[in-house]
Amino acid sequence: MWLSALLLGAFLLSGPVRGSDGSASTAITCFTRGLDLRKGTEDVLCPADCPLWQFYVFGDGVYASLSSVCGAAIHSGVITNTGGAVKVQTLPGQENYPAVNANGIQSQVLSRWASSFSVTGTRSTALEAVGRSVSTARPSTGKRPKKTLDKKAGNKDCKADIAFLIDGSYNIGQRRFNLQKNFVGKVAVMLGIGTEGPHVGVVQASEHPKIEFYLKNFTATKEVLFAIKELGFRGGNSNTGKALKYTAQKFFSLENGARKGIPKIIVVFLDGWPSDDLEEAGIVAREFGVNVFIVSVAKPTTEELGMVQDIGFVDKAVCRNNGFFSYQMPTWFGTTKYVKPLVQKLCSHEQMLCSKTCYNSVNIGFLIDGSSSIGEINFRLMLEFVSNVAKAFEISDIGSKVAAVQFTYNQRKEFGFTDYVTKEKVLSAIRNIQYMSGGTATGDAISFTTRTVFGPVKDGPNKNFLIVLTDGQSYDDVTGPAAAAQKAGITVFSVGVAWAPLDDLKEMASEPRESHTFFTREFTGLEQMVPDIIRGICKDYLDSKQ
């Protein structure tokens, strides 16, 4: 409710009021923003007792134009919360508006904005300002609470990179275009945008697609809301297919803010029907690993169906024709009840089938021989092999995961699948594994790993792989434990070095054993195996999805 009040109150400008020096000032509300003022230089009158904690201010000294004018004036020390006259000067936009706490107001960071403003006192406020400083500013009883880390981080349970592809064609028109923006804003609020949660951007489809803002531009809900509000209606044909293809190819680059291991989603809002073909665009999106949702509003009537190029355009554009990726609303009016169900779909990352690849959807456990015959130098070569395999995968809390167990006669879990959820931390943990030295009980180690490492993730969405790395004969049986691991859904690759018997390696490996068994005479030969192991994992992953 407070956000609605902020947005609506911003436009409530009163008539001119005479200041104590006789000058004319326009009375504004607590939430009037710089971009709501139309003159290059304007004298305004701020009311008293504004709720400081509700102010949204971006910058320090120079403020982004979406900032509250009165909030900026209090923040800069031009007035106190008793109100007063303020001179507002419009300025060009800039980058990197800083966050500064001053006079009871915490301004916020903003990466860039198209216009700015500064505030100074008028003649009527100059005398009031004499002797006033930050240290003597009147305290406020309504101090804005500090943001918590979780709020900045966003909804961590909804990690996704989302492009809203909005309809800006003549089909929708100006009025419904504004209603569409309102709905998209509600979806953005409920998503819980944040640095560690979902990131969103907007592309407008019309005659030619236009990227309005990228994933990297805004990582807070309020910034996204203001950016959506400022979008202008473009008009033209609804070339949705052209816009979808363009978005899939251009939008999700690392330079533009896309994150590795995070599902990529395009939500296509379509009022009526597209003017061009969606099938090819849908194919391109799937090739780029993008999940396409179609939110259709006001489906074509029976009389209008003859004007539609392909009545099956929704099924041909979405990620999968299973009902999950299509969403229908009868009208742009009364859409609030449709927000939550759509958000629930967008946050179901396990359903994002088109984002899933062998690189971001596997659990890889390494079972590392630490027996005495290896020695410290060769053990480091084994760890380098493990690191090089792990580097190829997109490790995250919702992507691929890595675990490691070292074994001799005993087993030591070095780290599990949920202990480290970034590639950097996983690689660091691998480097820090200390050589145990001892005997070789590979069978017990496989059973231990199946039970304690893979057991907790056996019902998860990722496909499970175990890479057994050993240099010699096992003192116990490996056939039974390996068979049990495979029965539990774990694909086993065996990698032998030096004196490792080929029969044992094949007994441990999954079928077909020839393609899951590797051997090298020298530890230095492990490096050449890395590409083949990675290709083998990807082949098995793809075969499992057929």
- Nearest Cα residue to 115 out of 31, 38, 24, 17: 38
pLDDT value, residue 144: 39
**Paired sense of beta strands 490-497 and 517-520, if any:** parallel
Burial of 218 (0-12, 13-18, 19+ CB in 10 A): buried
Q: Which of 511, 503, 435, 437 is nearest to 474 (CA)?
A: 503
- For 371-508, list the strands marked E by DSSP: 401-407, 411-415, 463-470, 490-497
At residue 134, the pLDDT reads 30
What is the predicted pLDDT for the residue at 17?
52
- The Cα 397–Cα 90 span in angstroms is 45
**Cα 121 from chain centroid?**
42
- Domains of the chain, start order: 2-146 (2.170.130.20), 153-353 (3.40.50.410), 362-544 (3.40.50.410)
Contact call for residues 144 and 124 (beta carbons, < 8 A): no
Task: Give per-residue pLDDT as tens, 31-89.
Answer: 888 888 888 899 999 988 887 766 788 899 999 888 899 999 999 989 988 888 999 99
Tokens linked to 217: 């531009």
Alpha helices in 302-441 (DSSP H): 313-317, 336-346, 375-391, 423-431
Find where tokens 């192991």 sit: 533
- Residue-level pLDDT at 103: 84
Query: Residue 113: its pLDDT value, please?
Result: 83
- Rounded to whole angstroms, the Cα distance separating 225 from 10 reads 14
**Residue 466 token pair:** 């175990």
Q: Running DSSP on this structure, what letter comes out for residue 356?
A: -
* Closest CA relative to residue 167, chosen from 221, 236, 245, 226: 236
Token pair for 144 = 């804005």
- Cα distance between residue 284 and residue 254, in whole Å: 18
Per-residue pLDDT, 468: 98
- Report the DSSP beta bridge partners of residue 85: 45
Q: Please give the Cα distance from 69 to 396 (Å, whole number).
A: 42
Q: Reduced to 3 states, what is the DSSP secondary structure of residue 529?
A: helix
- b/e burial code for range 297-310 (CB count within 10 A of at least 16 → b): bbbeeeeeeeeeeb
The b-or-e profile of 89-111 (16+ CB within 10 A means b, else e) is: ebeeeeeebeebebbbbbbbebe
Report phi then psi at 44, rounded to 5. Answer: -130, 160
Predicted pLDDT of residue 171: 83
CB 361 within 8 A of CB 393: no
pTM exceeds 0.85, yes or no: no
What is each CA distance from 40 to 14, 16, 53, in whole angstroms? 18, 17, 28
* pLDDT of res. 151: 64
If one counts every other C-beta atom within 10 angstroms of the C-beta of residue 410, the result is 14
* Averages of pLDDT over each 10 residues, the chain, 546 residues: 38 45 73 85 88 80 90 91 90 86 82 87 50 34 40 85 94 91 94 93 94 93 92 89 94 91 92 81 90 86 58 83 90 90 90 87 97 95 97 89 97 96 94 95 97 93 96 93 97 95 95 96 94 94 80
Q: Give CB contacts under 8 A, 24+ apart, made by 425-429.
A: 426/390, 426/395, 426/402, 427/387, 427/390, 427/391, 429/404
Cα distances from 483 to residues 205, 413, 477, 516, in angstroms, run 54, 21, 11, 14
* 482-486 contact pairs (CB < 8 A, 24+): 482/443, 482/446, 482/507, 482/508, 482/509, 484/446, 484/447, 484/450, 485/446, 485/447, 485/449, 485/450, 485/454, 486/510
pLDDT the model gives residue 353: 86
For residue 34, the model assigns a pLDDT of 87
What 3 state SS string does 500-513 have? CCHHHHHHHCCCCH
Angle, helices 375-391/423-431, rounded to nearest 10 degrees = 170
Regarding beta strands 101-102 and 59-60, do their DSSP bridges make them parallel or antiparallel, or are they unpaired? unpaired
pLDDT of residue 308: 58
- Tell me, what's the pLDDT at 166? 96
Q: What is the pLDDT of residue 300?
A: 61
SS3 367: strand
CB atoms within 10 A of CB 487: 9
The contacts of residue 83 (CB under 8 Å, 6+ apart) are 45, 46, 47, 48, 49, 50, 70
Q: Which residues contact 545 (CB under 8 A, 6 or more apart)?
A: none
Residues in the chain: 546
